[in-house]
Structure 1
């Protein structure tokens, strides 16, 4: 196959963000098909692959909403004194209601057939339950309404009704509904499998001893956590030296041994003298492009050994911003990601400058309706990334923003401030 010509960073043409996102979508579309059956306990944060229809109704039977007495409401129009019947505890079958009786029921207990209302114990006289056999009658208020304090069968969901739709993300509430319906397992979208490879002679795993000029590798941790958070399994996390043979050997070994759906690398894709990823893959059909964004301009996209390949820059912030702006939205659109990012407007607390012609993303703290930039634009500033919960969009042709200007922000963490009252 003839290698596809890449657009190098030295080329004056820049790919717009939207075009690169579309290229990633086309590259990855259809790559993450497949489903798997999971026990309910393993379904958290998975995407449901098929509809679940209710196998039973909820509630499954008429039951009491309160501790009290079950009665036939029509009888309370003519009498206030009722014979106390045998109590019905929760979890036990209920006998038929006998005329003229009031049946002690606990919350959740099945209503006797023929009873259609519950009188709370505090409205009865006496207003507390007495030991079985010690109270023969109880006085109740008159004119009780039918359905009072009764949870009707099927009032939540009826049998065969759609309970959970395909594509829905299974959180605690959705899993709880499935459990209440007696569903023991779910058919979920398979999580994509990823090889994550960081490159560079200078990077070593955290905890290792650093030699002169070396730094700890943050990229595999940052991107690995981001991918896992988004719903992607990171099967292999590797560091490759700045050697084409070593880099290719690592790739080949993983592709041969592990069934991966996507390869993601960081570093080695710019125009420097030791850009190992570019040197190894530029002649193998991978395109190296410059996207109109800062940080995160250099990008790589293509296939290696038939597997979709995505290359991010080596600076940790650039790699993280690349994932958030370019790859995460594609994973969401393709039904892979289980966590979306949301954009909103906010008021800038201080002025900002942006380079001409670039779409800049600045780390920031969003608090209520205001957003405060953190650190500078440098792609090495990890503390600012750690403290931030948002990215400020500064699209071209904007080169200057003033205090009080309204900007668009992408929320990347938990928003602070605002009204969180219940």
Structure 2
């Protein structure tokens, strides 16, 4: 059983060394479960975007050769009407300048314009669109005539045509492996003809809290404390993209905790379509409470038994959250954090959240952080890293820190501020690292 005092970075590295990316699955982009998964392979465009030349504005498709270069207006016959999702059925223009014919047309050499709506394919031989508001028509009326007999217009500075492949060419890299599938990436890949991507399945995390005093929500028995920790840990795990198995409260009895850990690490249950085969029910176990030196600290007792492996009990030079532990339970990595709610919260963000990111296939070094100025000053204990939940101000500055042990600091917190161990007094204007918290899912 390991022991000793270490920094936050050292304990995070020890936690990350116990996890690796989960299984790879193939998932369709239109599967709702795809959102939030991390790509396991690069995604490249299977088709150009746009797929064909089309109108960027409602107006008239024209041949620039039919419009004076000096911007003089001309009157052109309106030869047809093209809408999105249709194939243009209007006279095609031959390369030498004369109008060709389509079925039912008997014109040759006829100049003209084609009424066209935004997104509609540009007829062959036409090379620009004049917006309707810059023509004699002025505007199109929904339900009105499908064509005008003629229109007066002039050459415009822009052609108002979106060219095939102007955004993405076939084979263009859209996103690299390790990128999370969000709405923008899903839309871009789908538009580029991609149907199925290779990704990491969503990690499964079991959370449980320990303590005989913990009771189901709404219980009012004397001495009972609502089990808020497992509710909080489950929400944090979901916010970082995991599927969650919430065991709830486990009493301070070694056999009860062993039973709960066995259930979490046991054989997997039913899988969703995006899940791959896995040897365990979950990929990570996170417990709160029982890691200090008290007589009721059941986690320490179980860690000393024969079923726990790779046990690493450490004192981390941080406040709050000094007592921490790591282990493996029947092959499943186990992160044990303190039972104080704020300590459990910051410990999850510092250690469990990076582990979930690594399981998901994302880069998982230090949590992404920003350097933010302090708006006010406060004292910090010597020799330890102070980690406090804060609500950043409108200008992004860190306000004066509040007591890190108060649960009331959490409801509106959107970041954790980390004060270095060698800083005993934060002064206004000092730059501090802040870890931004994810939006709830």
Query: Which TM-score band applies after superposition, normalised by the shorter structure?
Result: 0.7 to 0.9
- Against the structure 1 CA distance between its residues 213 and 124, is the aligned structure 2 distance closer, same or farther, given a 3 Å change threshold? same
Tell me the residue number matched to 1:90. 84
TM-score normalized by structure 2? 0.83
Post-superposition Cα deviations, 1:262-295, rounded to whole Å, max 9, x if no partner, equal 1111111110001111101223332211111111
TM-score normalized by structure 1? 0.87
Q: CA RMSD in A?
A: 2.5
- Against the structure 1 CA distance between its residues 400 and 115, is the aligned structure 2 distance closer, same or farther, given a 3 Å change threshold? same
- Count of residue pairs brought into register by the alignment: 399
Query: Is 1:298 aligned with 2:323?
Result: yes
1:309 to 315, 321, 334: 334
| Residue pair 1:374, 1:388 contacting (<8 A) in 2 also | no
Tell me the residue number matched to 1:10. none
Query: Is 1:282 aligned with 2:295?
Result: no
Q: How far off its partner does 1:386 sit? A: 1.5
Tell me the residue number matched to 2:372. 346
Query: Is 1:138 aligned with 2:163?
Result: no
**Aligned to 1:87, what secondary structure does the other structure show?**
strand
2:111 to 85, 88, 100: 100
Give matches, 1:10-21, under 5 Å.
13-21=4-12
Q: How far off its partner does 1:225 sit? A: 1.0
Q: How far off its partner does 1:194 sit? A: 1.6
Tell me the residue number matched to 1:29. 20
- Against the structure 1 CA distance between its residues 334 and 261, is the aligned structure 2 distance closer, same or farther, given a 3 Å change threshold? closer
398-407 vs 130-139, which moves further? 130-139
Tell me the residue number matched to 1:417. none
Give matches, 1:272-421, under 5 Å.
272-284=294-306, 285=309, 286-332=311-357, 335-336=360-361, 342-367=368-393, 368-378=395-405, 381-412=406-437
Give matches, 1:221-260, under 5 Å.
221-258=231-268, 259-260=281-282
Q: Structure 1: how far apart are the matches of 2:353 and 2:266?
A: 27
Post-superposition Cα deviations, 1:37-82, rounded to whole Å, max 9, x if no partner, equal 2452422122122222222211111111111111110121288222
**Aligned to 1:153, what secondary structure does the other structure show?**
coil
- Against the structure 1 CA distance between its residues 193 and 105, is the aligned structure 2 distance closer, same or farther, given a 3 Å change threshold? same
Give matches, 1:199-218, under 5 Å.
199-207=210-218, 209-218=219-228
Q: Structure 1: how far apart are the matches of 2:407 and 2:54?
A: 56
Q: Structure 2: how far apart are the matches of 1:88 and 1:387?
A: 53
Q: Structure 2: how far apart are the matches of 1:281 and 1:62?
A: 66
Post-superposition Cα deviations, 1:360-408, rounded to whole Å, max 9, x if no partner, equal 1122221114311353132xx1111223222222212222223444433
Q: Structure 2: how far apart are the matches of 1:250 and 1:135?
A: 76
Post-superposition Cα deviations, 1:284-332, rounded to whole Å, max 9, x if no partner, equal 3322111111111111112111211111111111111011122323443
Structure 1, unaligned stretches of length 5 or more? 8-12, 415-422
Q: Structure 1: how far apart are the matches of 2:336 and 2:287?
A: 5
| Residue pair 1:86, 1:104 contacting (<8 A) in 2 also | yes
Q: Structure 2: how far apart are the matches of 1:48 and 1:137?
A: 53
Give matches, 1:252-271, under 5 Å.
252-258=262-268, 259-271=281-293
Give matches, 1:140-155, under 5 Å.
140-141=153-154, 143-144=155-156, 148-155=159-166
Q: Structure 2: how far apart are the matches of 1:257 and 1:210?
A: 36
Q: Structure 1: how far apart are the matches of 2:37 and 2:235?
A: 16
| Residue pair 2:203, 2:242 contacting (<8 A) in 1 also | yes
87-96 vs 399-408, which moves further? 399-408
Tell me the residue number matched to 1:419. none
Q: Structure 2: how far apart are the matches of 1:234 and 1:173?
A: 26
Q: How far off its partner does 1:334 sit? A: 5.6
- Against the structure 1 CA distance between its residues 296 and 128, is the aligned structure 2 distance closer, same or farther, given a 3 Å change threshold? closer
Q: Structure 1: how far apart are the matches of 2:396 and 2:262?
A: 49
Q: Structure 1: how far apart are the matches of 2:6 and 2:85?
A: 65
**Aligned to 2:5, what secondary structure does the other structure show?**
coil
| Residue pair 1:46, 1:338 contacting (<8 A) in 2 also | no
- Against the structure 1 CA distance between its residues 385 and 251, is the aligned structure 2 distance closer, same or farther, given a 3 Å change threshold? same
337-346 vs 86-95, which moves further? 337-346
| Residue pair 1:348, 1:402 contacting (<8 A) in 2 also | yes
